[in-house]
Amino acid sequence: MNKQSNTYTVIYIIVLVVVVGAALAFASMSLRERQIDNANADKMKQILKSVRIPIDDKNVGRQFAEHITAMLVVDTEGNVVKEGGADDMEIFNIDVAAQAREEASKRELPVYVCRLDNGAVKYILPMSGSGLWGAIWGYVALDSDGSTVYGAYFSHASETPGLGAEIANPKFQEEFIGKQFFKDGRFMPVTVVKSGQHPADGSDYVDGISGGTITSKGVGAMIDNCLRPYDAYLQSLDK
């Protein structure tokens, strides 16, 4: 066949595309299990970071199994509708972003129950929302009273470095420690406000990120939307 002909060029391109496509598909299928394991390990790290546990990258799975004593699903009435151990992947894999878009009464609300080395029990609640450029998400860990923040972790998909991306900075996350979600028996989410301002309703607050106003508001909205449905369950913890 004439290598200078259009027919040869077309056949060559088709064969190349088929071979490369097959190779990529095989590689993707071969690595899928490892990709899932890596994604799960990353999520475990984030959950553990919310309770301020130093991470051992080589033994994240073991750390998670040691500290997460139960995984629950609760409803807006405060009832536990599902319960499993640290290996319950059905609860672990609940799509929090999808749940956050549902009406509160229809949501599956995951709770990760954590026991620290000193025996203290913490309750970790997942969140998902939107920043300026894309998805943001995080976890808030509460003391056994269901109100006091023990730790927090936030991350993002595409916020601006040095601005909105600072929600992933431990310095910002540490501002939440010690804040309260209940005031006089009423659920009042911790808010994120512009530096120098104060919430009119008297709720606890943290200063937003300078230059990252929209992302900061996104964090506040995420906390309100995702944690308010846990009101009844958190009250039951204190009782």
DSSP code at position 76: T
Range of the domain at 168: 47-238
Distance CA 224, CA 239 (A): 22
Q: Is 9 inside a domain boundary? A: no
Q: Tokens standing for 79?
A: 């009832």
Residue type, 63: Q
Residue 101 reports pLDDT greater than 80: yes
Q: Is the pLDDT of residue 77 over 70?
A: yes
Rounded average pLDDT over 171-200 = 94
**Mean per-residue pLDDT over the chain, rounded:** 92
Candidates 177, 180, 204, 201; CA nearest to 192 is 204
Q: Does a structural domain hold residue 126?
A: yes
Q: State what percent of residues in the chain have pLDDT above 90.
A: 78
Structure-token pair, residue 63: 């750390």
Residue 195 confidence (pLDDT) above 90: no
Going by pLDDT thresholds of 50, 70 and 90, the confidence category of residue 222 is very high
Confidence of residue 25 (pLDDT cuts 50, 70, 90): low
Distances (CA, A) of 23 to 10, 14, 16, 26, 29: 20, 14, 11, 5, 10
What's the rounded Cα separation, in Å, for the pair 56 and 136?
Answer: 24
Average pLDDT over residues 3-10: 65
- 51 vs 21, residue with greater confidence: 51
> Would you state the structure tokens that stand for residue 235, as one six-digit string?
């009250």
pLDDT of 88 reads 96
Cβ neighbours for 173, distance < 8 A, ≥ 6 positions apart? 151, 152, 153, 154, 167
Task: Determine, yes or no, domain membership for 229.
Answer: yes
Q: Is residue 12 part of a domain?
A: no
Confirm whether 122 is domain-assigned.
Answer: yes
Say how far residue 35 (Cα) sits from the centre of its chain: 18
CB 193 within 8 A of CB 155: no
Name residue 25's beta-bridge partners.
Answer: none
Examine residue 209 and state whether it is found in any structural domain, yes or no.
yes
28 is a domain residue: no
pTM above 0.85, yes or no: yes
Residues with Cβ < 8 Å from 179, sequence gap 6 or more?
148, 149, 190, 204, 205, 206
Is 233 within 8 Å of 78 (Cβ atoms)?
A: yes
C-alpha span between 91 and 165 (Å, rounded) = 28
pLDDT band per the 50, 70, 90 thresholds, residue 229? very high
Domain total of the chain: 1
Sign for the CA dihedral angle at 53, 86, 137, 33 comes to positive
pLDDT at 34: 75
Rg value, the chain, Cα: 22
Residue 27 falls inside a structural domain:
no
Nearest Cα to Cα of residue 175 among 219, 119, 233: 219
pLDDT at 1: 57
Residue 31 has pLDDT above 80, yes or no: no
